[in-house]
Amino acid sequence: MKQGILSDILDYANRANPYPLYEELRKTPVFHDGEGPYVISTYYDIQSLLHDPRLSSEARNLAASAGDPLAEGEDEGAAALPPSFLKLDPPEHDRLRRMTNRPFGPPHSPHRIDDMREDLHGIVGNLIDNLGDPGNIDLVDQFAYPFPVTMICRLLGVPREDEPRFHVWADTLAASLDPDPGADPKERDKTTHDARMELGMYLAGLIEERRKNPGEDMLSQLAVGHGQDETMSTMELLSTAALLLIAGHETTVNLITNGMLTLLRNPDVLRQLRETPGLAVPMVEELLRFEPPVQLLPQRTPLVDIEVRGVTIPKGSSMWLVLASGNRDPNRFENPDRFDPYRKDIQHLGLGSGIHSCFGAPLARLEAQLALTELARRLENPRLIEDPPPYRQNAVLRGPRHLRITCDGVRPA
């Protein structure tokens, strides 16, 4: 294997199709070039490591980031908040995730997601109604971006009149995750910092108001808490709300956009979805395997020396777990490079696994199922204007930055 394969994976020139590189990477299941991260690329190894308590997600346990091209730096805005539970280990991870889950899902809030169906249908229908010229639609800007952020606002209990402000903040913070190489970095950093501060101040005010006058929304329930041991501090709550906004938004945008791109490349499946809406459930699972919105997890660190495939990975080393490569591992999936919504066994890694499995998975699945079903049903003869489309710069959160399509018309709701 050539030494530059990690550079090739991160190279924007390969963003549209990194899967041949992952195939090459799997020939060396534990890849290390001597100074960079240890890269794990096969399904069973990744699955095992995601459940291994010897692996840490906390940056403080990383001995050195030298040689890791995805080593994360702390900026002024990020340092102002404590890390979210996504970047914590037990027991703090478990405490914060447990509190966040109480108003979100079973066993305490078993109907939260299902009760959102009417809202979801309404948002999807309204966005499709307002797509404008059917001959020139950008599904990212006009549909996939506004849909999940609107839904997160409803989930948190953001007043309807304030939702446009959230859209601006979400777009700005998303751009910071996927920087334009031609933009002025100082100006970009200032814009990101200002957006983060404005969002934080707004959320702090909303949290204070919800503590005085709680409602049925998720933010109210998190703000009120359940006893001294089950109450977040204001800073923890701010960090959690920001995580729900950014992580929940970005991954869902990619899931919907990658999904529609895959359907347009597989018109028979698109037709089947239009005729049989129930196909959406297994189809979204296959999409999570075939084109996962999160390609790799670059922040894992062994707390002790561990051995994988006979290779000793020293304590404190940087590790990458390449989920998208594991999802195409022929030792786990038959014909892994074929998109097959009728696949019988789709135990994919698209939403992670173990204690850090995707917190918002139930909502993301439902959003993608409804969005793709309605797009298939209402767009008449949709076609791609550009294939491959222009992709985002980000190699971790991989998806088209724009998805321009044309269709013969939009069917009424």
What pTM was estimated for this model as a whole?
0.92
Q: How many helices (H) and strands (E) does the chain have?
A: 16, 12
Bridge partners of 311, per DSSP, are 308
- What pLDDT, on a 0 to 100 scale, did the predictor assign at position 275? 97
SS3 201: helix
Domain boundaries along the sequence of the chain: 5-410
Three-state SS for 102?
A: coil
Rounded Cα–Cα distance for residues 401 and 410 (Å): 23
Instruction: State the virtual CA torsion across 334, 340, 346, 349 in degrees, nearest 10.
Output: 90
Q: What is the pLDDT of residue 169?
A: 86
Q: Amino acid identity, residue 178?
A: D
Tokens of 158: 């953001």
Q: Which residues pair with 55 in a beta bridge?
A: 302
Q: What angle do CA 247, 248, 252 make, to 5 degrees?
A: 110
> Which band of pLDDT confidence, cut at 50, 70 and 90, is reported for residue 243?
confident
Residue with tokens 């890269």, as numbered in its chain: 39
pLDDT digits (tens, 9 = 90+) for 81-129: 788 999 999 999 999 999 999 999 988 899 999 999 999 999 999 999 9
Q: What residue type is 173 in one-letter code? A: L
Measured between alpha carbons, how far is 34 from 31 in angstroms, rounded to an integer? 9
Q: Omega of the bond prior to 91 within 30 degrees of 0, cis?
A: yes
Q: How confident is the model at residue 299 (pLDDT cuts 50, 70, 90)?
A: confident
DSSP reduced 3-state for 48: helix
Task: Give the whole-angstrom CA distance, residue 355 versus residue 366.
Answer: 21
DSSP character string of 233-253:
-HHHHHHHHHHHHHHHHHHHH
Q: Is the peptide bond before 37 cis (omega within 30 degrees of 0)?
A: no
Range scoring the smallest mean pLDDT among 29-38, 71-80, 152-161: 71-80
Cα 6 to Cα 1, 22, 37, 336, 401: the distances in Å are 11, 10, 9, 22, 22
Contact yes or no for 272/377 (Cβ under 8 A): no
Task: Please give the structure tokens belonging to residue 271.
Answer: 């037709």
pLDDT band at 76; cut points 50, 70, 90: very low
% of the chain residues with pLDDT over 70: 94
Tell me if residue 188 falls in helix, strand or coil: helix
Q: Which two tokens stand for residue 70?
A: 């995805």
Please say whether the beta carbons of 252 and 259 come within 8 A.
no
Q: pLDDT digit string (tens) for 176-188? A: 777 677 778 888 8
> Would you give the DSSP letter of residue 349?
S
pLDDT tens digit sequence for 315-334: 999 999 999 999 999 999 99
- Is the CB of residue 103 less than 8 Å from the CB of residue 218? yes
Max mean pLDDT among 12-16, 104-108, 111-115, 228-232 falls in 12-16
- Architecture field, domain 5-410: Orthogonal Bundle (1.10)
304, 18 Cβ separation under 8 angstroms: no
HSE-CB for 142 with a 13 A CA cutoff: 18
Cβ 265 vs Cβ 387: under 8 Å: yes
Q: What is the pLDDT of residue 172?
A: 84
